[in-house]
Amino acid sequence: MKKTILTTLFFVGTFISLKAQQTEPQKPVKTGNEWKMPRDVVQRSHHFADSLKRILNLDEGTTKKVFDIYMANTKPVDEITITTTDEKARKEKLKANHEAFNEKLKTILSTEQFQKYIKVDKKKN
């Protein structure tokens, strides 16, 4: 009897832990003027900065600046995504935001690094 109960509890616990690991990333939420940052923003920012560091051979200081710019850009992007219902308007706003983001990157990266980034960015999009 004890073995049956313990085995059942083991399988239930395993199922619950596997289910908890399969949750989707949290989406941003806007209530009034408040924006709740999703949990994965820092992770996305690190991934972006680390990939540029690898591709463009950035030093630590420049990588930190890229990380900061990307972090600052996540809120406007998420707000555009949340508040804009018209698909065409959303695409236009996201494109304008991306161009502004690229201008900020241009001030940090060298000319050669920025040109390489633009090539990689165009391949991605």
Question: What digits encode the pLDDT tens for the residues 31-65?
Answer: 555 556 667 788 889 999 999 999 999 999 999 99
Report yes or no on 22 lying in a domain.
no
Give domain status of residue 4, yes or no. Answer: no
18 part of a folded domain: no
User: What pLDDT, on a 0 to 100 scale, did the predictor assign at position 37?
Assistant: 66
Specify the amino acid at residue 54. R
Residue 5 lies in a domain: no
Q: Domain limits at 44?
A: 28-124
Q: What's the total number of domains in the chain?
A: 1
Distances (CA, A) of 101 to 26, 94, 97: 23, 10, 6
Residue 110 or 21, more confident: 110
SS3 for 36?
strand
Question: Does 34 reside within a domain?
Answer: yes
Of the two residues 121 and 21, the one the predictor is more confident about is: 121
Look at residue 86 and tell me if it is in a domain: yes
